[in-house]
A and B are shown apart, each in its own frame.
Chain A
């Protein structure tokens, strides 16, 4: 016993490191633990308060640039609104003719980005909305440019959203022009990639990628990005499609959390079916 104690004291640095590494590994396996989620919720709340305070300091140069961009956007949007009104009227008439159901309206919660961690190891943003605003884990986050990410942690007044550039991010998308479906994922850099698209499918550089109806998290038809390269890998049966995200993550300041997307009836039916198959 005495010898073990002497050894531990002599090599205390190694002993401490081993303990901490083991503890970290245990934490890695317990990421979905409710207690750990509760601790995270408190940390998010505390850091959120600090970031919220810091976010109050206005950046004059940024405000000036933003003002200019907004003025231009306003003019473009006014023109688009009038055209969309026309299109909506036409759409309503056609829907009535075809007897189609009106698509479900989504509920949006506006949020300010009060903190960002934008580097390739971890791309997350902290939002000043939380459980009290109806925000919950797995809800989609969008900006006026398109899909930004999904909520991964919530406290009562703050939440953290994981952006698209993440190894755990996957969603169904389609090419807007040719309606080709695929799975969107991160390619490890600042780009996205679409997988599972056969070489026979029609995909061209410049095509827009949008969310598809197959996704359980994201609503359909929201812009994801633009195809910037299509390569035919001789080793596989699929195309290598690279996507430039439509959202400029470095300039995200205001976003919307969609709080009413999950079609529980559909999710329940699909999970019941999968269970039966097992």
Chain B
């Protein structure tokens, strides 16, 4: 139970970070998705069910807090939490978190997240969906992956005794 309270508290901090710090470091409107990195972290450490449920809850809270379409982030983030959960392996958590594997998981999850997000978000608009997915979604995924180097370095130091 205390673990979930901790998750909720950290999730709120990440939402505040997403609405403040992410804007400061945005490049031409492209910002990293801190929430997604947090969801992947949950997936790698605790498994698919936790990451799917928290993906949904974080997405919903983010939609409510930022004036977005309610249900859009909750859908795309629960799907990405589910996808990231496939990489959960209790015996390899430390290795996954402290190596390039984590970056690849973030990249893949982010690409899937943006694919879902734009496919639904741009429904009924005249904006080029393919271009948005490839250009904005792809670049956002790359930026998010770059930022996820930070937790990798932190875990590298933390788990250095293992290798």
Which A residues are within 8 Å of any B CB, using their own CB? Answer: 12-13, 16-17, 20-21, 23-31, 36, 39-40, 43-44, 46-47, 50-51, 54, 115-124, 126, 152-153, 160-162, 165, 167-168, 185-190, 195, 250
Contact = CB atoms under 8 A, between A and B. Distances in A.
Given A12-B49, A28-B71, A43-B65, A51 B56 contact: no
Interface in B12-32: 12, 15-16, 18-20, 22-23, 26, 28-31
Contacts of A167: 121-122, 125, 127
A12 B140 CA distance: 31
B120 A16 contact: no
Contacts of A47: 15-16, 19, 65
User: Which among B12, B19, B117 has the greatest number of chain A C-beta atoms within 10 A?
Assistant: B19
A121 B33 CA distance: 11
Contacts of B19: 47, 51, 115-117, 126
A49 to B, nearest CB: 11
Given A13-B85, A54-B16, A20 B61 contact: no
A51 B20 contact: yes
A119 B31 contact: yes
A185 B125 CA distance: 10
Given A43-B61, A43-B65, 18 more contacts: A13-B48, A16-B52, A17-B82, A27-B60, A27-B71, A28-B70, A36-B70, A44-B67, A50-B16, A119-B29, A119-B31, A120-B30, A121-B121, A123-B29, A126-B19, A185-B126, A188-B122, A190-B29
Interface of B: 12, 15-16, 18-20, 22-23, 26, 28-31, 48-49, 52-53, 56, 59-61, 64-72, 74-75, 78-79, 82, 85, 117-118, 120-122, 125-128, 131-132, 135-136, 140
A101 B61 CA distance: 48
Contacts of A195: 126
A165 B31 CA distance: 15
B64 A119 contact: no
B contacts with A: majority SS: helix
A65 to B, nearest CB: 14
23 contacts: A13-B49, A16-B53, A20-B78, A21-B75, A24-B60, A24-B72, A24-B78, A27-B70, A28-B72, A28-B120, A30-B70, A115-B20, A119-B23, A119-B29, A123-B29, A124-B67, A126-B19, A153-B67, A167-B121, A185-B126, A189-B135, A190-B28, A190-B29
Given A30-B70, A43-B65, A188 B23 contact: no
B121 to A, nearest CB: 7
Contacts of B72: 24, 28
Contact of A31 (B61, B69, B120): B69
